[in-house]
């Protein structure tokens, strides 16, 4: 069902272009944010590791495109932080760099809209800072 929703969302805005050739110029910020959010949700609900990684990667791609196309949208940064966190946890790649980027995205969300997702960026940034501090203590 979620695939159908994503497909309908993406094809109704610019059905004439193949998906690989589309850019965020043809979508609204809300559509791109929704696509990143949906992929993150699908990653969390997937049954096997490869599906989780695939959806998290797609969500991160959508969020990256969103940040480039709509740099003043808090949702773009929020879902880039969320999907980067998912992807990093699943692949364990470049963990330190990812944490720094996640915290930076959370700070950007807070700067743009403190109330976005009921202050979710504050919670996420705090969790990442605590995890970072905990790692330093265990060295």
Q: What is the pLDDT of residue 130?
A: 65
Residue 13 lies in a domain: no
- Regarding pTM above 0.75, the answer is no
Residue 10 lies in a domain: no
Alpha helices, DSSP H, located in the chain: 2-13, 29-45, 49-69, 74-91, 95-112, 120-137
Residue 5 lies in a domain: no
Instruction: Residue 53: give its domain's CATH number.
Output: 1.25.40.10
Mean pLDDT lowest among 10-14, 29-33, 103-107, 135-139: 10-14
How many residues are present in the chain?
A: 139
- How far is residue 106's CA from residue 23's CA, in Å, rounded to a whole number? 25
What lies within 8 Å, CB to CB, of 137 at 6+ separation is none
Counting the structural domains of the chain, the total is 1
Range of the domain at 118: 20-137
Residue 9 lies in a domain: no
Residue 33 lies in a domain: yes
């Amino acid at each position: 069902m979620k695939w159908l929703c994503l497909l309908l969302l993406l094809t109704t805005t610019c059905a004439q272009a193949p998906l690989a050739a589309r850019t965020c110029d043809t979508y609204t910020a809300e559509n791109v944010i929704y696509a990143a959010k949906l992929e993150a949700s699908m990653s969390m609900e997937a049954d096997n590791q490869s599906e989780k990684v695939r959806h998290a990667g797609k969500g991160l791609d959508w969020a990256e495109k969103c940040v480039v196309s709509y740099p003043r949208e808090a949702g773009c940064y929020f879902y880039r932080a969320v999907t980067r966190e998912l992807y990093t946890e699943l692949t364990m790649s470049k963990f330190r760099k990812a944490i720094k980027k996640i915290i930076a995205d959370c700070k950007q969300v807070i700067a743009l809209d403190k109330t976005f997702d009921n202050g979710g960026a504050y919670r996420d940034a705090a969790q990442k800072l605590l995890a970072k501090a905990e790692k330093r203590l265990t060295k």
